[in-house]
Amino acid sequence: MTTPLRGLPMAVPEAGLPARVRIHEVGARDGLQNEKTTVPTEVKAEFVRRLADAGLTTIEATSFVHPKWVPQLADAEALFPLVADLPADLPVLVPNERGLDRALALGATRVAVFASATESFARANLNRTVDESLAMFAPVVARAKEAGGHVRGYLSMCFGDPWEGAVPVEQVVRVCRALRDLGCDELSLGDTIGVATPGHVTALLTALNEAGLPTGTLGVHFHDTYGQALANTLAALRHGVTTVDASAGGLGGCPFAKSATGNLATEDLVWMLQGLGIDTGVDLGRLVATSVWMADRLGRPSPSRTVRALSPAPSHEDTGAARDIEDRQGPRAHKEQ
């Protein structure tokens, strides 16, 4: 079937998979940090608002990092108050106490620190060794928890590194345990350059379980460089993972990791999850409309296969494609099915 009924896949559940998946939307952060041009603050705020309206409940809003390192997100102070009232969790990245101070001053208590499994990327991304960066995170995690916050610990380069090549599983397990011991509430396993394959995902999750890290505390963060992100996600779901990171329209990459390309597109993820009968709370029509709108703002089409399949016209021209999709599907059409 090439034209699915009302833009949705037929739901055929697979036994053993979770009933519900929480999507951790990273488009406004991982996506926009990688744009060559800086997106105006108002456009970012509208993007976040539309993502919330599409039903996403965890939307990573921005980063309180050094503005010279990531100028695309230097407007964090201006952006956060514009979206703070949305009915969604709005985690922000903070690398150090200076970043945490900036976040707490705005009432942002859901924060994420971001470590690396490899020394090369720790140096490139944080100007620190792996252990120095863990020492930098320790007071951030402690103070965020004292403030009643929730802390996510990202770990990059879990499956491969552009400078060091293959990354041994033991190396990943060591840093994951260290993040857990600092007090992180959840971990996100990053395939920063998109080289993972499904067997590797299963092997890493199994090794982490054996090291005392329960699957319920682990999320996955795949980039789609080699087209493996959905296959890797399915492997993680079969292992019991229920938190999956994705980026609306497949925006993304990492300015400090050569060969990092876009994240798993949220639309591609939602298409697969709906087809598996897994609840996400996301309205695919509204989400596609949001990514078409954002692609229009960025002046180039979304790389997401699902966005392209559901867009009636090239998404880089403001052709009203988003409105057409909503007209065809009606608001929140999938909930009726």
Per CB under 6 A, residues contacting ligand HMG are 30, 33, 63-66, 69-70, 93, 95-96, 98-99, 102, 114, 125-127, 154, 156, 190, 192, 221, 254, 256
* Residue 125 or 232 having the CB closest to ligand HMG: 125
* Least CB distance to ligand HMG at residue 308 (A): 23
Least separation, in Å, of the C-beta of 107 and Mg ion?
A: 25
267 binds, among Mg ion, ligand HMG, none (CB under 5 to 8 A by kind): none
Nearer to ligand HMG, 197 or 319 (CB): 197
Exposure string for 7-40, b = 16+ CB within 10 A, e = fewer: bbbeeeeeeebbeebbbbbbbbbbbbbbeeeebe
Q: Segment 4-63, which members bind Mg ion (CB under 5 A)?
A: 30
Looking at beta carbons, which residue is closest to Mg ion?
Answer: 30
Nearer to ligand HMG, 111 or 294 (CB): 111
Cβ at position 137, least distance to Mg ion in Å: 17
Q: Shortest approach of ligand HMG to residue 225 CB, angstroms?
A: 11
Which of 158, 176, 184, 254 is the catalytic position? 254
Q: Which is nearer to ligand HMG, 22 or 66 (CB)?
A: 66
- Check if 254 is active-site: yes
Written in H, E and C, the secondary structure of the chain is CCCCHHHCCCCCCCCCCCCECEEEECHHHHHHHHCCCCCCHHHHHHHHHHHHHCCCCEECCEECCCCCCCHHHCCHHHHHHHHCCCCCECCEECCCHHHHHHHHHCCCCEEEEEEECCHHHHHHHHCCCHHHHHHHHHHHHHHHHHCCCEEEEEEECCCCECCCECCCHHHHHHHHHHHHHHCCCEEEEEECCCCCCHHHHHHHHHHHHHCCCCHHHEEEEEECCCCCHHHHHHHHHHHCCCEEEEEHHHCCCCCCCCCCCCECEHHHHHHHHHHCCCECCCCHHHHHHHHHHHHHHHCCCCCCHHHHHHCCCCCCCCCCHHHHHHHHHCCCHHHHC
Which of residues 266 and 311 has its CB atom nearest to Mg ion in the complex?
Answer: 266
In the complex, the smallest distance separating the C-beta of residue 246 from Mg ion, rounded to whole angstroms, is 10
Judge residue 159's burial from the number of C-beta atoms within 10 Å of its C-beta, 0-12 exposed, 13-18 middle, 19 or more buried: buried
Distance of closest approach, residue 276 Cβ to ligand HMG, in angstroms: 24
From the list Mg ion, ligand HMG, none, partner contacted by residue 44 (C-beta under 5 to 8 A by kind) = none
- Can you give the binding site for Mg ion, defined by CB under 5 A? 30
Which residues are annotated as catalytic? 254
